[in-house]
Amino acid sequence: MARSCGACLARPPRYRRARAALIYDARSRRLLLPFKHGDRTDIARACGRWMARAGSELLAEADLVAPVPLHWRRLFTRRYNQAQLLARVAVREAAVGTRPRLAPDLLRRRRWTGSQSGLRAQERRGNVRQAFDIHPRWMAEVAGKTVLLVDDVLTTGATVEACTRVLQRGGARHVDVLTLARVVRPAV
């Protein structure tokens, strides 16, 4: 059952819908942090399956699935993009006949943004403003399409909002979001 969080009711997002497999809390953090920062890529398979179930409707309606990109420096040090690993599994687990096209490099992170951790919502929005663009080879593919953005955690929504803005400027008909976990905040 889909619900709107208090923060989304108070400040509606640019994207159409978002789904998450888990609520981000102390328990899910113990799963997520080793995956994101501790080379526990083996976790991606189970997490991607959970996401495919939680986001089955979004996957069925998507034309393209795009992971939120890492800056090349972050990718170099981490050696993998956790959002891309999750997206790959979620697409593979989507119902046969409804599998959208995985576009692993649809978006690019044009500039270094550093970590969003510890930043307030307004600081996060400023940190990722104009940080993304559409890879030129995908420009013609985005117009009129429904794009499903995949990320590990939806905290304030600043990153997916910045990505959504770029995709909408590129002509995307709809942008939906699928994450492994989501921070749930009450309305302010």
pLDDT tens-digit series, residues 33-43 = 999 889 999 99
Q: What pLDDT is recorded for position 7?
A: 64
- Which whole number is the average pLDDT over 82-104? 92
Q: Which residues pair with 64 in a beta bridge?
A: 101, 147
- Indicate the pTM of the whole model: 0.90
**Residue 151: pLDDT band by 50, 70, 90 thresholds?**
very high
Q: What pLDDT is recorded for position 168?
A: 98
Nearest Cα to Cα of residue 94 among 57, 134, 125: 57
Q: What pLDDT is recorded for position 181?
A: 97
Q: What pLDDT is recorded for position 45?
A: 96
